[in-house]
């Protein structure tokens, strides 16, 4: 995708990652891989790690360091109560936006 998607991801990627974490805890490398599987093929690794740092500092996730057999220790992130609440708020905001846009698309044909 072009640079339109880059801008569109702003604010959305955060919700996407939180949604992934709401299913089950995961670590950065894993999340990146999962994003690629789900079609977000061109999301940079650095972007994900920076995002994880952010949501950790905001207190939306808990972090547990666990050793890995291959490579350095993993930082496993899991949603806490605040994170879950934030995720719900995200879905509300997303729904609002998606609804308006759907209406606009219908009207604009």
57 binds its own copies, rule: CB under 8 A: no
Q: Which residues bind DNA (CB under 7 A)?
A: 6-7, 9-14, 27-30, 42-47, 49-54, 68-76
- What is the SS3 string spanning 24-75? CCEEHHHHHHHHHHCCCCCCCHHHHHHHHHHHHHCCCEEEEEECCCCCCCEE
Calpha distance 72→85 (Å, rounded): 32
Q: Which does 90 bind (CB under 5 to 8 A by kind): its own copies, DNA, none?
A: its own copies
Nearest distance, CB of residue 107 and its own copies, angstroms: 6
Q: Which does 19 bind (CB under 5 to 8 A by kind): its own copies, DNA, none?
A: its own copies
Return the beta strands (E) in the chain as ranges.
26-27, 61-66, 74-79
Calpha distance 65→53 (Å, rounded): 14
- Contact pattern from residue 77 through residue 106 relative to its own copies, giving x for each residue in contact according to CB under 8 A and a dash for the rest: ------------xxx-xx-xxx-xx-xxx-
- Which positions touch its own copies (CB under 8 A)? 1-2, 4-12, 14-16, 19-20, 22-23, 38-40, 89-91, 93-94, 96-98, 100-101, 103-105, 107-108
């Amino acid at each position: 995708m072009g640079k339109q998607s880059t801008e569109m991801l702003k604010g959305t990627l955060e919700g996407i990652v939180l949604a992934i974490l709401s299913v089950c805890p995961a670590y950065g490398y894993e999340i990146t891989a999962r994003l690629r599987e789900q079609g977000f093929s061109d999301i940079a690794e650095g972007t994900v790690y920076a995002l994880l740092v952010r949501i950790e500092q905001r207190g939306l996730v808990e972090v547990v360091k666990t050793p890995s057999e291959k490579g350095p220790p993993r930082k496993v992130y899991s949603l806490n109560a605040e994170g879950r609440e934030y995720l719900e708020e995200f879905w509300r905001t997303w729904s609002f936006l998606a609804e308006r846009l759907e209406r606009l698309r219908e009207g604009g044909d």
